[in-house]
Amino acid sequence: MTTERVMHLEHALAAVFAAAEQQGIDIGELRRQAIGGLIGNTSWQWVDAELVPGAIAEIESALWLLEQETEEAG
């Protein structure tokens, strides 16, 4: 995957978190649910266990990006 695509996906994920927060969803809880689902939700059969650590890192990275944008704006 190209660096540019990774950046696009990171920004897209940050946008999803920002939109969720604007809808009144607790993004900390959303983060915990997403990571928990990746780690152990057996109904998420599409999850590839080998990709879980990287997916978690991308969730954390997107939230960090969102926090940086919020700090710079405020």
Q: Tell me how far apart the alpha carbons of residues 31 and 34 are, in angstroms, rounded to a whole number.
A: 5
Whether the CB-CB separation of 27 and 17 falls below 8 Å is answered with: yes
Return mean pLDDT, the chain: 91
pTM of the model: 0.82
Residue 74 pLDDT class (50, 70, 90 cuts): low
Q: Tell me how far apart the alpha carbons of residues 55 and 46 are, in angstroms, rounded to a whole number.
A: 13
Q: Between these two residues, 48 and 41, which has the higher pLDDT value?
A: 48
Task: Flag whether pLDDT at 69 surpasses 80.
Answer: no
